[in-house]
Amino acid sequence: MTTPPSTSSTVSAPGVTASAAATPSVTAPTAETTAAAPAFGSVPAPTMVRSDVIAGVFGTPQAVPTAPLAIHPFAHALHYGSACFEGLKAHRGYDGVVRLFRPDRHVARMRRTAELLCLPVPPAELLAEAIRAAVAANLDVAPAAPGALYLRPLLLGMDPNIGAAAAPSEDALLVVLASPVGDYFAGGARTLKLLVETELPRTTPQFGEAKAGANYVMALGVTRRARAEHGADQVLFAPGGDVQETGAANFLLLDDDRVVTRALDGSFLHGITRGSVLQLARDLGYQVEERDIHIDELLAWDGEAALAGTAAVLSSVGTLVHEGREVTIGSGQVGPNTVRLRDALLAIQRAEVADPHDWMVAVDG
């Protein structure tokens, strides 16, 4: 994800008490402090939910204080990358009710990722309940719009065996973390600059669909270089000229009539925001084209381009850097179709309008 504009948070970063006897806890934010736009993902909510997995069987999820985890140094996840996560939001509507956005889709995607990583697959009901419980336990730090409570389910392979490179981990740990977040692009809408990478893919072909940490670290060096050398916010991966996605969001082209994006395949993450924006586009009468996008079409595009994701929602792309040359997309400004679709999505998430597709799931204490 792009580096968000700096925000001044009054909440301290996780302050961990080093104590051998007591369970250390993190500094918990209060409703007042979180209202001041905390930096995305840097503020832990006071409670997390954990389920210990023994021999593939998930234990009943328990709400516990957000605190450092005890992990055996031989744990599979630490050595062989059997670690994955999800990312979704619960939004406080204008009626005060907190609702999760499409948790069923995030549950399904995490189950798919776990399967790809040969980790124990969380039962859908149990994972949904763990996410719901993490929201319920942290309702008092769920900010009002444009903030949200970000949920981060995490699954780690825990078999304590450094000889098990070629064997799946049967023990695991599932935790659902929560973090109050502000508007990712607080401080006014601005357009993003993307470096187009035409040689490297974001990840390996069989892992594009997985939400695994290894995918992100693979894109990190490229993204860091793009930032340092070109002032780019993100890298758009287009190996061989075939546009995939950025390091942490899906890529869309828009104009007054159409929304165009890559069709689902195994090479990239199937974003829940992407699917939702396409549905809203259809509802609003746009023609939706799910197909390959070649770099040549992209460079000649006369409309708008945007990134879709849980954090970015729908953010306008103004400039591409391709082979050292800067190319402006359309007017280079935030486009009206992007704004229209973004507002339509936010209105549902914030319960300002009816929820025609039953995407929102209310959570009470």
Give contact residues for ligand PLP (rule: CB under 6 A).
87, 245, 248-250, 269, 271-274, 308-310
Minimal distance, residue 67 CB to ligand PLP, in Å: 25
Which is nearer to ligand PLP, 25 or 185 (by Cβ)? Answer: 185
63 conformational bin, left if phi > 0, alpha if psi -120 to 50, beta if neither: beta
Minimal distance, residue 240 CB to ligand PLP, in Å: 19
Which is nearer to ligand PLP, 105 or 258 (by Cβ)? Answer: 105
Minimal distance, residue 267 CB to ligand PLP, in Å: 11
**Residue 102: Cβ within 10 Å count:** 22
Which is nearer to ligand PLP, 122 or 271 (by Cβ)? Answer: 271
Minimal distance, residue 78 CB to ligand PLP, in Å: 22
Which is nearer to ligand PLP, 72 or 105 (by Cβ)? Answer: 105
Minimal distance, residue 81 CB to ligand PLP, in Å: 16
Minimal distance, residue 308 CB to ligand PLP, in Å: 6
Which is nearer to ligand PLP, 117 or 308 (by Cβ)? Answer: 308
What is the torsion angle, in degrees rounded to the nearest 10, for the CA atoms of residue 38, residue 341, residue 249 and residue 205?
160
In three state form, how does the secondary structure of 302-360 look? Answer: CCEEEEEECCCEEEEEEEEEECCEEEECCCCCCCHHHHHHHHHHHHHHCCCCCCCCCCE
For Cα atoms 228, 233, 236, give the angle at the middle one, nearest 5 degrees: 105
Which is nearer to ligand PLP, 184 or 286 (by Cβ)? Answer: 184
Helix 272-283 × helix 336-349 angle, to 10°: 110
Q: State the Cα–Cα distance between residues 59 and 272, nearest whole angstrom.
A: 28
